[in-house]
Structure 1
Amino acid sequence: MWTCPICAREFTATNQLHSCRERNLGDFLAGKSAHTVDLFDHLITEFLQLAPVKAYPTKSMIALGLKTNFAYVTQLGKNFIDVVFPFDEIYDDNLCFAKIKTVPGTNQHNHHFRMYLKEDINDEVRGFMRKSLEAES
């Protein structure tokens, strides 16, 4: 494991490319509605009940990770947040994903979840949250 001397994030590869100097979490949350920030905090709290996850700001999104990233907050809207769960298989028998897109040239299928209310994280979503963490390890 290698630890970045700037952001203290651990990586499996030495000198792994990442964007710790470019954005911080406050940059993403600045100017967002209290409702949206509350949704983001709730998402993190729900994940923390499963594992000691960390939020890593990048240029365009917030990655959620342990040793590797397992989910991404791709948009913080006025009254919602968008979360992408990348899986190696398609889980199309669900009520929580608005769309599923395959990344061209890969076996990665991005499952898109839009959260409007805290209650949107239900048992089905928690199951996919656990599955994303299992895929990470």
Structure 2
Amino acid sequence: MSKMQITDFLNKKTDYTLELFLFFIDEFNEIGEVELRPLKSMIAIQSNHNLAYITQLGENFVHIVFPFNQPFNDNFCFTKIAQVPGISQYNHHLRLYYKEDINDEVRSFMKMAYQAKN
């Protein structure tokens, strides 16, 4: 079986979604240098640890999951927060439709993910 490539996830995506994806990665790189690692069903965004996962590239959105060790329920940006069964990891789901969706609140969670010691 061949190894997944980033291009496997980006093939046949709309220009709009590709632009949104690249904008999000550029925003993360403003916080600190990140690398993309293709997994079987998603793209991991990592530095010295996994910061977030791009789980879906839709026609007009990018879906991202941030794994944190606690739930951050007091927010306006996450559409869902779910604990991973059996461990103290809470997946925080973010769906970007517009570049403006990456606001100060989202940037603060991106910084928190970058600075986390997992």
- TM-score (ref. length: structure 2): 0.96
What's the RMSD between the two structures over aligned residues? 1.0
Residue of structure 2 equivalent to 1:27: 8
- 1:35-81 Cα distance to aligned partner (Å, 9 max, x none): 00001000000000011101111110000001221100000000001
1:124 aligns with 2:115: no
Residue of structure 2 equivalent to 1:67: 48
CA distance in 2, matches of 1:99, 1:115: 13
Report which structure shows greater RCO (CA 8 Å, sep ≥6): 2
Residue of structure 1 equivalent to 2:76: 95
Asked if structure 2 preserves the Cα contact closer than 8 Å seen for 1:86 and 1:109, the reply is yes
By how many angstroms is 1:28 displaced? 0.5
Residue of structure 1 equivalent to 2:33: 52
CA distance in 2, matches of 1:41, 1:131: 20
1:43 aligns with 2:24: yes
CA distance in 2, matches of 1:51, 1:119: 20
Q: Sequence identity of aligned pairs in percent?
A: 49
Residue number among 36, 60, 63 corresponding to 1:79 in the alignment: 60
- In our comparison, the structure showing a higher alpha carbon Rg is 1
CA distance in 1, matches of 2:16, 2:3: 26
By how many angstroms is 1:134 displaced? 1.1
2:112 counterpart letter in structure 1: K
More helix by share: 2
Asked if structure 2 preserves the Cα contact closer than 8 Å seen for 1:70 and 1:136, the reply is no
Paired residues, what number? 117
1:97 match: secondary structure: coil
Structure 2 residues not aligned, in runs of 5+? none
- TM-score (ref. length: structure 1): 0.83
CA distance in 2, matches of 1:136, 1:119: 28
Q: Which runs of 4+ in 1 moved over 6 A?
A: none
Structure 1 residues not aligned, in runs of 5+? 1-20
